[in-house]
Structure 1
């Protein structure tokens, strides 16, 4: 039996991949799938192809195919294409365009004037890179679809069960002890616990846990189509259509990528940072005239960041450790599920970029 600890995006996708391959799977979640105490809740995550690293560009392409497989198998719409923009001197759109051209990813490098005519709700101060494949992932719907389909395929799902420790029993089995006093023995354990990973005493690098603030701003024109966007000048921000998280009227979600508050999964406050709200609202006033600068909704989530911002996806004895994190992992969900499942069954080798050995 393969146990998967954590029913967030990555754990749920791993359970789905294992179940569809015919393996005996138990998915264990401390709360309920879709809870708001980690990183996998909400209706809006960015899918994009733009990276300054060809490795990740290739990975986004593979992930895009995996999203199609997941949507087909679950009969659910999970990824909506909107197109995406990269702007700001810090992003260097011209350089990114050259990288995408080498990778064969469709894109356009636009002048500020041309971009402004296409998206009048955005004030451009320089060139912008547009790529049509970007879109919005519904994280809540993705978790629900993976858990539902895994269950249909025979997986067992345990909710309200918190794992206190994971102990290898030699090279081929592991013991999971629950905080309720129970025990589960598995042949392999996939630990996909997100910001809760540091509590398990696993052989991990130092992971930085931060509470991130997100804000939703109402569209002045409810009929306007908004792309995803990544902007880097004085502030490093990302934005995308809010979906249900923004309320009844169409809204856009905006957040700073790099100014989270250090915390732990247990001690987070859940209260958005007022200084971040002011900075993001100021950006809306200055650069996004198509949005009302007063947030209509706000929330927090958790980032789990490795020292090099690459993921952790590796096997140690009977344990598979899964942390596709650092604020850019959600877009890879079904692909990471496949990679983790391959490690759990012994059918795949660790990707060197994601190995634990790089930290030794």
Structure 2
């Protein structure tokens, strides 16, 4: 029985649009379905700045960051858009273990330097450190809204059918492995479906594919003004001490004076895709404001902009990238997946076209959801 398309992709965030681009440029017929408008702010991919960096204490992720960086550059070249802003990156704090990250970067051949606190403070006035600081130059930000536009435009150029305002109500698999997607505007059939729906993943796949525990949290993000907007922007920063925080230049959301985006990585309350309230917790605002006052004296400790977004996380923060029958699960980026978007799109397209998947760590079996001998 023939299908309407070879590959249907559900969810047009960073991962879904990247998958559509990867599949379309392989000559596959693709339909990309999004329940809201393209570029909406209801999920995890909106905004003007996300961190890209090479610094991980895990060689697998360090290797993946290098592959992703090359794909980001390819996307920039093919789309004619500037998406990356390279500022360098800093890692510090007693729970961040910059010495351990430095050893992994050294083994992987990634340029870096380990600095004493005083030298780092001299090099980046307005920041405070109390221990060793890892600096690596290949880090900065990516503009997620512009990236999604670029992915979608190139996918459309490759023939992809992109449908926003098209909620998928149900996904079913027929006896001949044909996938049937029931949408608000009709039925679409495909040979393979890639579900890249973030916080909506369990709603779409529950009962169809065994899933590990996926925790959805509502994260809170703040922007603070710089005391001296004329100074060069600081590198992106990951700091784990009493709080686990990250900060970066805010892009368009940072306003004309390039305000700083700051958030906690792991402190958002649990929620659901449908149940999020979008309200910022005053206690979170107070924690981050106190953090800015203590560690980032080059900022004014008064946020001028705040918002929320969703994380969908696995227990160990590894991604889920696997295929069961004609269904590809592409989800759970666990708050650190944006930097890998074009690479995850390649992985999902590989799985959708019958090629081997990525590292077994990302399989459903590795997450305890499937037998490894399925």
Give the TM interval when normalised to the shorter protein. over 0.9
Give the equivalent residue in structure 2 for 1:100.
Answer: 105
Alignment partner of 1:143 is 2:148? yes
Unaligned runs of 5+ in 2: 370-374
Shift of 1:223: 2.3
Shift of 1:181: 6.0
Q: Which runs of 4+ in 1 moved over 6 A?
A: none
TM-score by length of 1: 0.97
Map 1:1-360 onto structure 2 (within 5 A). 1=5, 2-170=7-175, 172-178=177-183, 180=184, 182-200=186-204, 201=206, 202-224=209-231, 225-358=233-366, 359-360=368-369
> Greater shift after overlay, 67-76 or 27-36?
67-76
Does the 8 A contact of 1:84 with 1:229 survive in 2? yes
Does the 8 A contact of 2:321 with 2:357 survive in 1? no
Shift of 1:212: 0.1
Count of equivalent residues: 359
Does the 8 A contact of 2:320 with 2:329 survive in 1? yes
Deviations 1:62-119 (A, max 9, x none): 1111111111111111111110000111111122211211111100101111101110
Does the 8 A contact of 1:315 with 1:350 survive in 2? no
- What CA distance in whole angstroms lies between the structure 2 residues aligned with 1:348 and 1:94? 35
Shift of 1:349: 3.0
Shift of 1:164: 1.2
Match of 2:130, SS? coil
Deviations 1:41-72 (A, max 9, x none): 00111011111111111111111111111111
Deviations 1:210-252 (A, max 9, x none): 0000000111111222110000110000000000112232111
- What CA distance in whole angstroms lies between the structure 1 residues aligned with 2:55 and 2:283? 29
- What CA distance in whole angstroms lies between the structure 2 residues aligned with 1:113 and 1:181? 61
- What CA distance in whole angstroms lies between the structure 2 residues aligned with 1:132 and 1:319? 39
- What CA distance in whole angstroms lies between the structure 1 residues aligned with 2:122 and 2:91? 16
Match of 1:141, SS? helix
Unaligned runs of 5+ in 1: none
Match of 1:187, SS? strand
